[in-house]
């Protein structure tokens, strides 16, 4: 943690779990590295969002020891990594739109429900991080997962591109990038 700004160090010291402090600190070191390679710097912006000097945008995510960082020089970017979690009805209802709920409940050969939920979750969080932030209601956006890559539904669909992958069983990472129009 010694290379981090004082404000970041005191934020990390307030986190209860050692693992969370570690993941966040490593994530910020990686973000600094990505930014430095591009000749810019990173800082924490409004609402906790990592920010950089234009035209570079950056994003960070960590979950269960997995850390994902991303940078984009042509538009906004969001990234999310998640490890397997139980899909309770309450959790699904709290974050999925009606279309997404219907897709999740439908029979889908070869892909367990928990895996499909992670794909939805990471795509939605990546989009929220790239756009309005994590305080927004995730049910206000809808993602179509019936093709090879996630696709945003609605008027802004053409402006965003997604890529999802599973680096290990039970782990899903999705990145969402703004497209040049």
Ligand X SMILES: CC(C)(COP(=O)(O)OP(=O)(O)OC[C@H]1O[C@@H](n2cnc3c(N)ncnc32)[C@H](O)[C@@H]1OP(=O)(O)O)[C@@H](O)C(=O)NCCC(=O)NCCS
Does the footprint of ligand X cover residue 80 (CB under 6 A)? yes
Options 42, 52, 57, 62; binder of ligand X; rule CB under 6 A: 62
Return the beta strands (E) in the chain as ranges.
Answer: 42-44, 50-52, 57-63, 66-72, 77-83, 143-144, 151-152, 160-168, 171-178
Nearest-angstrom CA–CA distance, 83 and 73: 28
Cα angle for residues 70, 16, 63 (degrees, 5° grid): 30
Q: Does 57 bind ligand X (CB under 6 A)?
A: no
* Nearest distance from C-beta of residue 121 to ligand X, angstroms: 5
Asked if residue 97 binds ligand X (CB under 6 A), the reply is: no
Q: Which of 35, 42, 56, 60: binder of ligand X (CB under 6 A)?
A: 60
The residue to which tokens 């990038």 are assigned: 177
14 near 20, Cβ under 8 Å? no
Please select the residue that binds ligand X; options are 129, 143, 171, 176, rule is CB under 6 A: 129
For position 116 contacting ligand X by CB under 6 A, the verdict is no
75 binds ligand X (CB under 6 A): no
Binding site for ligand X (CB under 6 A): 24, 27, 47-50, 60-63, 80, 95, 121, 124-125, 128-129, 133-134, 138
């Amino acid at each position: 943690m010694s290379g981090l700004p004082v404000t970041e160090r005191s934020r990390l010291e307030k986190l209860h779990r050692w693992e969370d402090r570690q993941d966040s600190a490593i994530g910020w070191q990686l973000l600094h590295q990505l930014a430095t390679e591009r000749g810019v710097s990173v800082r924490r912006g409004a609402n906790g969002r990592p920010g950089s000097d234009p035209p570079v945008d950056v994003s960070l995510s960590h979950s269960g020891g997995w850390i994902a960082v991303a940078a984009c020089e042509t538009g906004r970017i969001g990234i999310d990594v998640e490890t397997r979690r139980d899909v309770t009805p309450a959790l699904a209802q709290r974050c999925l739109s009606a279309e997404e709920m219907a897709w999740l409940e439908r029979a889908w050969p070869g892909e367990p429900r928990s895996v499909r939920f992670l794909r939805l979750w990471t795509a939605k969080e990546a989009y929220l991080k790239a756009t309005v932030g994590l305080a927004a209601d995730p049910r206000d956006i809808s993602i179509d997962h019936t093709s090879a890559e996630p696709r945003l539904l609605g008027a802004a669909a053409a402006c965003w591109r997604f890529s999802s992958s599973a680096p290990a069983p039970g782990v899903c990472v999705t990145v969402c990038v703004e497209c040049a129009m």
